[in-house]
Amino acid sequence: MAGPLKGYRVLDMSRILAGPWAGQLLADLGAEVVKIERPNSGDDTRHWGPPYLKDQDGNDTEDAAYFFCANRGKKSVTVDITHSEGQEIIRQLALQSDVLIENYKVGGLAKYGLDYPALKKINPKLIYCSITGFGQTGPYANRPGYDFLIQGMGGLMSVTGEPDNLDNKAAGPVKVGVAVTDLFTGLYAANAIQGALLERHQSGQGQYIDLALLDVQAAVLANQASNYLIGGTVPQRLGNAHPNIVPYQAFATADSHIIVAVGNDQQFKRFCQVIEIPLMAKDPLYVTNANRVNNRQLLCETISLSLSQKDSRHWLAAFEANDVPCGPINSIDQVFDDPQIIAREMLINVIESRSGSLKMVGNPIKYSRTKIEYPASPPQLGGQTNDVLQDYLEYSECQLTELHTKGII
């Protein structure tokens, strides 16, 4: 059965990660996504390498691996919007689209007549999603915003990294290993767009969506935000530990590290049985999770000493046999060799004209009736320009030749 968004057309004028991530999700769900890129250079991430995609002879292509994580299933159309002819192409495509995604600076598209007020006049049903670092209002609105900056400004780095202590006086804050603020923003954008499309069925009208990376980062502080807003305590860095649950962290074993994630008192009792300290579960210092949080250091020192006596394989098998949540700390290659990842079709292969085939991460959504499909690999720069302009806008060969000669497309 066709994807749930089949029949919708998305004009993706975004680049880097947050906007393209939203566009890729909509494409996975069946929408037709046309990616607008600058002639000759394209999306910035095409050049964020090495590594680069290799062709079938083992030579680097012009596209970095980074680009492939967020642009599956799209058509690439190159348009120079600084020229009036390019602006007209965007207007005509917007007239035929349901959604437009962009992440230009505040006011960046207004000077080209491609902002929401201008496009709303020609297509009142258009859902127009703008993604910026700080939003369209407020004292920071005109600042550029990148994920790393926002992780710092939005509080995430203040709770990420090892704590400062006597042995490690200045461990320092650490960013997350992937651009999570961009990714969360892309997910919020895709949700907001689909909500606006549902509302359009009732009102018949499109609307403007203003999404800011800083807003999103504040929103996804989740329990850490509540710990401060309700509990009145400013959360600090705890390394791999959890602020509200103990033991819930990584521990060293005789040969590596494992994660223990004890979520309730019954699990803690079983945990104590496995590490052969059953009376610890009855100790008044540890009998409830609140007690364990308040006596975190002493408890974790005892656990660390016990777990260091045997290797990870032993502990993982023992905990799993006794229904104690635990797991290894896998490297990326181990993740994609994991039988569960393979069984869940999270490693996919798509056809790519230069490399032959391309390994990608699958979409995690599993519908009972509709099916997520991957009809196209991430596009080569401008690969569908002529087709889109001919099929959608009925441009003639002569018009296309003239636009190519002028460098408009």
Domains of the chain: 9-219+365-406 (3.40.50.10540), 248-328 (3.30.1540.10)
Q: pLDDT, tens digit, for every residue of 275-315?
A: 999 999 999 999 999 999 999 999 999 999 999 999 999 99
Question: Tell me, what's the pLDDT at 164?
Answer: 81
Which of 174-178, 318-322, 373-377 has the weakest average pLDDT?
373-377
Strand 60-64 to 52-54 pairing: antiparallel
Active site residues: 182
Surface-to-core class of residue 107, CB atoms within 10 Å of its CB (0-12 exposed, 13-18 middle, 19+ buried): exposed
Task: Annotate 127-139 with b (16+ C-beta within 10 A) or e (fewer).
Answer: bbbbbbbbbeeee
> What global pTM score does this model have?
0.94
Q: What are the phi and psi torsion angles at 352 (to 5°)?
A: -135, 125
Angle at 325 between CA 324 and CA 330, to 5 degrees: 135
Q: Is the pLDDT of residue 169 over 70?
A: no
Identify the pLDDT of residue 168: 61
Could you tell me the CA-to-CA distances from 406 to 135, 382, 387 in Å, in that order?
A: 35, 15, 18
pLDDT, averaged across the chain: 96
Residue % of the chain over a pLDDT of 90: 96
Helix pair 180-203, 18-28: axis angle to 10 deg: 50
Contacts of 346 (CB under 8 A, 6+ apart): 336, 361, 362, 364
Eight-class DSSP state of 358:
E
